Amino acid sequence: MQLGSTSAVPLLVCLATLAGASVAPAQQSAIKDPTLQQQLDKWFSRAARTAPGEWGVAVADSKGQLVWSVNATRPMIPASTVKLFTTGYARSVLGSEARQSTRVLGTGSLDSSGTWIGTWALEVNGDPTLERPLRTGPMLHDLAAQLADHGIRRLTGPLAVQSARGEADATWPSVWHSRHKGSRFAPLIGELMLNENQLSFTLAPGVRGKPPVVVASVPEGIAHLIDVQARTINGRRNQLAIRQLPTGRFTVTGTMGTRARHRRWSGPSTNPHAVLEASWAAALTRAGIEWIRSPGLGTASGTTGRLTLAEITSAPFDSIASEVNTRSLNIGAEAMLRWAAGPDPSAAAKLTEHVRQITGDYLGVTLVDGSGLSSDDRATPYAFVTYLARFPSTPGGRNFPLLLPANGYGTLGKLSTGLPGPGVVRAKTGTLGNAATLVGYLGHKDGLILISVMYNGSRVYAAKQQQWKLFRILGADGTMVPGDSVPAELLGGEDREPPN
């Protein structure tokens, strides 16, 4: 691989040619500012001592020409910086204004009593923002309210669920390591997504001798899945045992003192089907609709292509992508990939091919998921800076930097100090037990700087601290990353999930 050379950034002046494949220490530089050169050399020397392991660094100008690098063409584990690629690929396929729909489909008619006579089904399509009481997104009670507005007062039969592509389900990605199961950042993935497939509820003491009571639950309706077999006793002690079953139901055993603090449980769902049924029942009740149901899930046969009885939609793609990157939301990234490429096993292959075509790096990029949670993903530092340089000039790349969080927000919260202000950096972090990465744009008065700094090894925390320092060194005189105006909500976001 041969890397070309142009000079558009006075601070970072390229040499005529920078070779591609390299060996340790594989450090190259075309910086003619001796002070900056010394700073970067000193930074890497300290980083390599502080966090022994594999390092790969690429610093480039706005056109993607390398000006300082360490092992720039070494394939490494990218962790959640894969979401940067997933965002670009999905946006290229879907467009910035695409929306996900959730519908009630039906075949039949309404009788004089308000009973729907015929079949009906819920169509869910993997909207990662569906049914999130504590965040923005469409809600099932809005879907049920539309049915009530049409005069429907009664539904009969089991819950039938489908997606626009056919079956609707949520499963564990085979490329994710089993050690992540049960973690909040690694829920089941698929068309069935309610509240990011996360559950929480709070138990409070009941009357002495009676069971504790569920005083709050998210999503709405899951209280009906909780079998409280525990007993309230005198005192302050909380000795409750909470167990989630494969069926999606919970059992609560043990004792809880009358003066004990409330007990909160939270975690990913083991059975999104059960959660959907409970939440849909609650939504119908709130809308004043009676549901006379039979046990189990029905089939959606005969409903596809029929009448749409109600429909709710997500925010536009750009809003979803911005939140996914700001919070490093794994389920959201996988949802974007499935939305663009479909649920078939070739989705990751389509993503890989997209990145290879944009970057020209056919040997250094292999992706097996859309979130970066798999340790089998590989990408080079050079591929990242090349993608950052080239993708914004493609039809789907307009304002791409603004879909990444600004310093001081979300997973970039620790870059709130040491830089002139928010917006100097637009970047994506990545963290696994054996990898730490930081990739993105840095605004400078002399031009845009592209940075990819990757570490694979056991000293992840120490490596991350050094990565922050590199951005602070290069961004000491930084300016806002350029781009058109963007809604304020795209600049914020919270990082409630473990960043990865």
Inter-residue contact 311 to 174 (CB < 8 Å) = no
Cis peptide before 420 (omega within 30 of 0): no
- Are residues 344 and 304 part of one domain? no
What are the strands, taking DSSP E only, across 250-326?
A: 250-257, 263-268, 290-292, 297-298, 307-313
Query: Is 407 a member of any domain?
Result: yes
- Give Cα 327 to chain centroid, integer Å: 7
**How far apart, in whole angstroms, are the C-alpha atoms of residue 426 and residue 44?**
22
Inter-residue contact 419 to 475 (CB < 8 Å) = yes
- Give backbone dihedrals phi and psi of 74, rounded to 5 degrees, phi first: -85, 120
pLDDT at 301: 46
Q: What is the CATH number of the domain that holds 83?
A: 3.40.710.10
pLDDT at 493: 34
Inter-residue contact 78 to 333 (CB < 8 Å) = no
Listed in sequence order, the residues at least 6 apart from 7 whose beta carbon sits closer than 8 Å to its beta carbon are 13, 14, 61, 65
- Are residues 451 and 409 part of one domain? yes
Q: Are strands 159-162 and 189-190 parallel, antiparallel or unpaired?
A: unpaired
Residue type for position 379: A
Task: Going residue by residue through the chain, which has 500 residues, state the pLDDT in tens, using 9 for 90 and above.
Answer: 333 333 333 444 432 233 333 333 456 655 556 778 889 999 999 999 999 999 999 999 999 999 999 999 999 999 999 999 999 999 999 999 999 999 999 999 999 999 999 999 999 999 999 999 999 999 999 999 999 999 999 999 999 999 999 899 999 999 999 999 999 999 999 999 999 999 999 999 999 999 999 999 999 999 999 999 999 999 999 999 999 999 999 999 999 999 999 999 999 999 999 999 999 999 999 999 999 987 654 444 444 448 999 999 999 999 999 999 999 999 999 999 999 999 888 999 999 999 999 999 999 999 999 999 999 999 999 999 999 999 999 999 999 999 999 999 999 998 988 898 889 999 999 999 999 999 999 998 888 999 999 999 999 999 999 999 999 999 988 888 986 433 333 333 333 333 34
Query: Is 213 a member of any domain?
Result: no
Domain boundary among 282, 313, 344: 313
- Give Cα 35 to chain centroid, integer Å: 39
pLDDT at 33: 67
- Are residues 321 and 291 part of one domain? no
Query: Is 200 a member of any domain?
Result: no
- Are residues 363 and 328 part of one domain? yes
* Distances, alpha carbon 397 to alpha carbons 18, 90, 96, 174, 400, in Å: 27, 11, 9, 31, 5
Residue type for position 103: R
pLDDT at 440: 97
- Are residues 105 and 90 part of one domain? no
Inter-residue contact 453 to 78 (CB < 8 Å) = no
- Are residues 417 and 280 part of one domain? no
- Are residues 107 and 83 part of one domain? no
**How far apart, in whole angstroms, are the C-alpha atoms of residue 251 and residue 242?**
6
pLDDT at 16: 29
CB burial of residue 3 (10 Å; 0-12, 13-18, 19+): buried
Domain boundary among 263, 293, 313: 313
Assign 3-class secondary structure to 187-246: CCEECCCCHHHEEEEEEECCCCCCCCEEEEEECCCHHHHEEECCEEECCCCEEEEEEECC
- Are residues 337 and 282 part of one domain? no
Q: Which pTM value belongs to this model? A: 0.89
Q: Which residues on adjacent β-strands are paired with residue 406?
A: 426
Q: How many domains does the chain fold into?
A: 2
Token pair, residue 175, equals: 């490329």
Residue type for position 369: D
Domain boundary among 258, 283, 313: 313
- Are residues 183 and 109 part of one domain? yes
Query: Is 241 a member of any domain?
Result: no
Query: Is 497 a member of any domain?
Result: no
Q: What is the CATH number of the domain that holds 141?
A: 3.50.80.20
Per DSSP, the residues of 367-409 read -S-SSS-STT-BB-HHHHHHHHHHGGGSTT-TTGGGGSPBTTS
- Are residues 374 and 471 part of one domain? yes
User: Domain range spanning residue 366?
Assistant: 2-95+317-490
- Are residues 444 and 411 part of one domain? yes
Q: Are strands 231-233 and 250-257 parallel, antiparallel or unpaired?
A: parallel
Query: Is 471 a member of any domain?
Result: yes
| Residue whose pair of structure tokens reads 């709405």 in the numeric block | 220
pLDDT at 261: 96
pLDDT at 416: 84
SS3 67: strand
* Distances, alpha carbon 434 to alpha carbons 330, 456, 485, in Å: 17, 6, 37
**How far apart, in whole angstroms, are the C-alpha atoms of residue 111 and residue 125?**
30
Residue type for position 462: A
Query: Is 256 a member of any domain?
Result: no
pLDDT at 380: 98
- Are residues 119 and 77 part of one domain? no
Query: Is 210 a member of any domain?
Result: no
